[in-house]
Structure 1
Amino acid sequence: MRVTTQNGRVVLAPDQQEKPVDVHELSENQFRSLGLANVAYIRPAMTEEGEEGCAIHAADGSPLAFVEDIETAWGVILQNDMIPASLQ
């Protein structure tokens, strides 16, 4: 499987002998292989003080930031030339 980008989106292209891959069925290791510097995911989160917001993580799960809402999260990710993925 080859991982490339097309119009700012991650595209998984099968090798000549492989069948197409459904990105919704990626294993944890396959998701990580998409590239730490390219993909960030967003998920709902809560601070220790009880504030609701969104956590931004690298593809390997490393925390990157906490923001107030999903729109801000998408903006932060795009400003840093990364590809957002939502886990809601």
Structure 2
Amino acid sequence: MRVTTQNGRVVLVPDQTEIPIDVHKLSENEFRSLGLANVAYIRPALTEEGDEGCAIHAADGSPLAVVEDWETAWGIILHHDMVPASLQ
């Protein structure tokens, strides 16, 4: 809350940061940008050698890396101070 004046009276007004966002009213681009810098997801993929592995993607779908297994992917994401999400 912040304090302001309206018509000579002191009133409390909620900060914009305190108003919850209705995700149903976001555009597709706004929705995709939520958590963009903080979230990475893991999904099954093939490594360069053709073996089964895991792909790490940014929240917007941009590929970041392909590793051998789920545990390695999870560890890499945490090491970079991101929040992992799995699509298995």
2:54·2:67 contact (CA, 8 Å) conserved in 1? yes
Residue type of the alignment partner of 2:47: T
| Root-mean-square deviation (Å) | 2.5
Aligned length: 67
Q: Report the 3-state secondary structure (helix = DSSP H, G, I; strand = E; otherwise coil) of the residue aligned with 1:61.
A: coil
Q: Whose helix fraction is larger, Structure 1's or Structure 2's?
A: 2
Q: Could you tell me which runs of 5 or more consecutive residues in structure 2 were left unpaired when the two chains were aligned.
A: 1-17
Structure 1 pair 46–14 and aligned structure 2 pair: CA distance change class (3 A): farther
Matched, 1:15 2:15: no
Task: Work out the percentage of aligned pairs sharing the same amino acid.
Answer: 79
Q: Deviations over 1:38-86 (max 9, x none)?
A: 0000000013532110000001110001111100000000000000000
Matched, 1:36 2:41: no
Q: Report the 3-state secondary structure (helix = DSSP H, G, I; strand = E; otherwise coil) of the residue aligned with 2:50.
A: coil
Question: In the alignment, what sits opposite 1:71?
Answer: 71
Question: In the alignment, what sits opposite 1:56?
Answer: 56
2:47·2:67 contact (CA, 8 Å) conserved in 1? no
CA shift for structure 1 position 37:
1.3
TM-score normalised by length of structure 1: 0.64
Runs of 4+ in 1 over 6 A off after TM superposition: none
CA shift for structure 1 position 35:
2.3
Distance 2:36 2:80 in 1: 12
